Structures are given as structure tokens and as C-alpha cells.
Amino acid sequence: MTSHVVDQPGPTLIIHGGAGNVPSRTGEEAETFRRSLRQAFAAGQRALDVSACDAVIAAVTAMEDDPLFNAGRGGVLTANGTVETDAAVMTGDGHAGAVCCSRHARNPIQLAHKVLTDSPHVLLCDPPEQVCQDWGLEVAPPEYFVTQARRDQLERVLAGRQHAPKHGTVGAVARDRHGHLAAATSTGGIVASSQGRIGDSPVIGAGTFARNGVVAVSCTGDGEAFLQGVVAHEVDAQMRLAGQTVDRAALGALTDEVSSRLTGHAPATGGLIAIDSCERLVVCHVSASMLAAWPDHGEVLTSV
């Protein structure tokens, strides 16, 4: 278990680029991830003046556009070689929008936001291209999402030359100057999955959750464990009903609801970022590494 806890009152955000079963990166590779994380963090920070919701959408959009991450362009491939993306956003006033198996919107998180703002629904599965266009969103053909690096990865995994690597999902949580909270998560899912498989990311309460006055949470990791443990909501419940601090609640949720479950024969792994309503933020994982960026006394720290 690794956790970073910072007390930072006022408007602030945290982003993540997935928890992984690879050891922390070093050298050139680490620098590349640091640069991408800092760019996405800066995009979120610029929008934080508008609202917590704008901040998490801006940060996640930047990571969806960056093929380094498993979201939007560069998302991992299903066993059939396709990219199916899932995304969710929730604002602390209790409203949420989400999409799963999305294939057309260039930025699935913006589509999820449209579900929140422009539809009576919460979760849409594979919204048609026309719906994305009617909402004024940019659409992209299937080849836009599929990168050569992901084709090579799928080939190695299907040939048994590589274990399916985890994870690479992206997410952000923010608190704005009004103390309002928001959370967003976006993913390509897991490598070589069955078509139609949906993880925790777009499921409100499992991978994404926000409640003003309590906490905003975005998760990453073995989606099946996070779904069954309803992990993001568990952090909220531990704080609201058991009076836990955000760092203790995060730790407890990962230990009790993730590490205690099996993925195959091994304990499930993953991590989460969470921000409370007044001052504390936490990056926490029960995986070998986690990509994240968070503020600490005027600096932006990263873990890669």
C-alpha cells in the first residue's frame, strides 16, 4: 500500500493515469509520463477557475488525446482488435453522466458530460454517431483510436508472450473555490477483453463518485473488484457514516474491498485519488505503481 496525503485547502485538483502492475518507471520513460501528467494537470488547473466540473473534464480530455494513456486515442484493444471506451463524470450536487462501449466520440468524457447536461439519463451504452454529432461533439473513425503500440500489445498478449498489462485508465477529482467537488474517469478497459465488457470506470459509485461536503473519488485497477466492492462509494460511506478522514477511508476501501478479492489467483490491485470538501487530498494504491499528479505547497508532484 502506498499513499500520498497532502493538506491543501481551497481550489485544487488531482489527476491519475492509471495504477499498474509494472514497477515504477525510470529514465526517459518516466520523464515522458511526467511531462504528459503535468500537461494534463495544467489543463485542469486552468479550468478550475470556472468550476470543479470543468477542471476534471479538461484534465481528462487532455489525457484522452494523449496516446500514452489507456483512454480515448490509444485505449487498449478488445480481443477483436477494437477500442471500446467507457467514461463517467459526477458533480458533487449529485448529478452524473456516463457512457460505456462508446466508439464514436473523440473524447468519451465530453460525451459523458453531455449525458449529464443534455439528457434525462445517467448511463448510455454505445451512443450512435448521430447522437454525438447532434450534441456538437467531435467524432472520429475507428482507426483514430487504434495505435500501432496497442496492436503490438494485443498481439503479444494473445500469443501468450505478455501478461495482459494493467491498467492505464485516467481520472481527475477537483474542489473549486466554492468548495464544490467533481470526479471524472475515462478508460479503454482491459486488454483482450470480450467485446461489451464494462469495468468500474463508468459505473457511478464503483469507479467514480462525488458528493459535496464529503468527497470526490476516481478509481483505477481491476475493474471487476472495484465494481463488486463499490469502492468509490465506499470511501464516501466511510467518511459520511463512520466519520473517517479521506486518507483512512481510501486506505480502508482499497484494503477491504480490493486486496481482499481475487483476480485469477492473485489479490486484485488498483488505486484511487480522492479529495475532501475542505483540505485533504490523497493518492493511494495497492498496485506496484500508479501514475498521478497532485499539488503540494505550490509544487506539482508526480508519481510514475
- Hey, which bits of 129-214 come out as E strands? 170-175, 181-187, 208-211
- Residue found by looking up cell 506496484 in the block: 288
Burial of residue 72 (number of CB atoms within 10 Å: 0-12, 13-18, 19+) = buried
Query: Which of these segments, 123-131, 156-164, 196-204, 250-258, binds ligand ASP (CB under 6 A)?
Result: 196-204
Site for ligand ASP in 228-267 (CB under 6 A): none
Fill in the amino acid letter for 158.
L
Nearer to ligand ASP, 51 or 153 (CB): 153
Alpha-carbon 283 to chain mean position: 12
Distance separating alpha carbons of residues 276 and 180, to the nearest angstrom: 10
Grid cell locating 246: 479521506
Task: List, by residue number, the catalytic residues.
Answer: 169
Smallest distance from the beta carbon of 36 to ligand ASP, in angstroms? 16
Is 245 within 8 Å of 252 (Cβ atoms)?
no
Site for ligand ASP in 60-89 (CB under 6 A): 70
Query: Which of these segments, 34-42, 43-51, 108-116, 218-226, binds ligand ASP (CB under 6 A)?
Result: 218-226
Smallest distance from the beta carbon of 297 to ligand ASP, in angstroms? 29
Is 211 within 8 Å of 236 (Cβ atoms)?
yes
Among 72, 74, 108, 199, interactor with ligand ASP by CB under 6 A: 199
Distance separating alpha carbons of residues 275 and 294, to the nearest angstrom: 11
Nearest residue to ligand ASP by CB is 223
Among 107, 187, 218, 303, interactor with ligand ASP by CB under 6 A: 187
The residue count for binding ligand ASP (CB under 6 A) is 17
Q: Residues forming the annotated binding site for substrate?
A: 197-200, 220-223
Which residues sit at the interface with ligand ASP, rule CB under 6 A? 18, 70, 166-169, 187, 189-190, 199-201, 207, 220-221, 223, 226
